[in-house]
Amino acid sequence: MSRTARLSPAAQREFAKALGELEHALAAEKLKQALADAVRRLGENPFLGGVRPHLPPPYRFWSLIRFGYVLVYDPGTDPVEILRFVHTKRDLPRVLADLRDLPET
């Protein structure tokens, strides 16, 4: 049985905004497929993503390199929760500052 990760409300909003900014339907479909693949892979193997100095553990990062987005997720939740869907051109330490204040589970 395969497991999938889930998107937090913030990640859902960020993903919807990203889709809305794409000009071509084919690009939107490819981004949807890339996210679906990532959700499946991270759900099955939560520690695939890497860590970054922007955010201390337990948070991990998974890049959608082709699209310039990064998924920020917590591998310790069940199911794995993708907390943010952020473009890599953004100031990640500033954008992700709110996650530093979340209580540890």
User: Does residue 73 belong to any structural domain of this protein?
Assistant: yes
User: Does residue 49 belong to any structural domain of this protein?
Assistant: yes
> What CATH number is attached to the domain comprising 66?
3.30.2310.20
User: Does residue 41 belong to any structural domain of this protein?
Assistant: yes
User: Does residue 27 belong to any structural domain of this protein?
Assistant: yes
How many domains does the structure of the chain reveal? 1
* Residue-by-residue DSSP string for 13-76: HHHHHHHHH-S-HHHHHHHHHHHHHHHHHHHH-TT-SB-BTTB-TT-EEEEEGGGTEEEEEETT
Distance of CA 78 to the CA centre of its chain: 16
Where in the sequence is the domain holding 68, given as residue range(s)?
A: 6-100
**Ordered per-residue pLDDT tens for the chain, 105 residues:** 468 999 999 999 999 999 999 989 999 999 999 999 999 999 999 999 999 877 777 899 999 989 999 999 999 999 999 999 999 898 888 888 888 664 444
Contact 92/72 with Cβ under 8 angstroms?
no
User: Does residue 1 belong to any structural domain of this protein?
Assistant: no
d(CA 47, CA 29): 26
d(CA 96, CA 31): 22
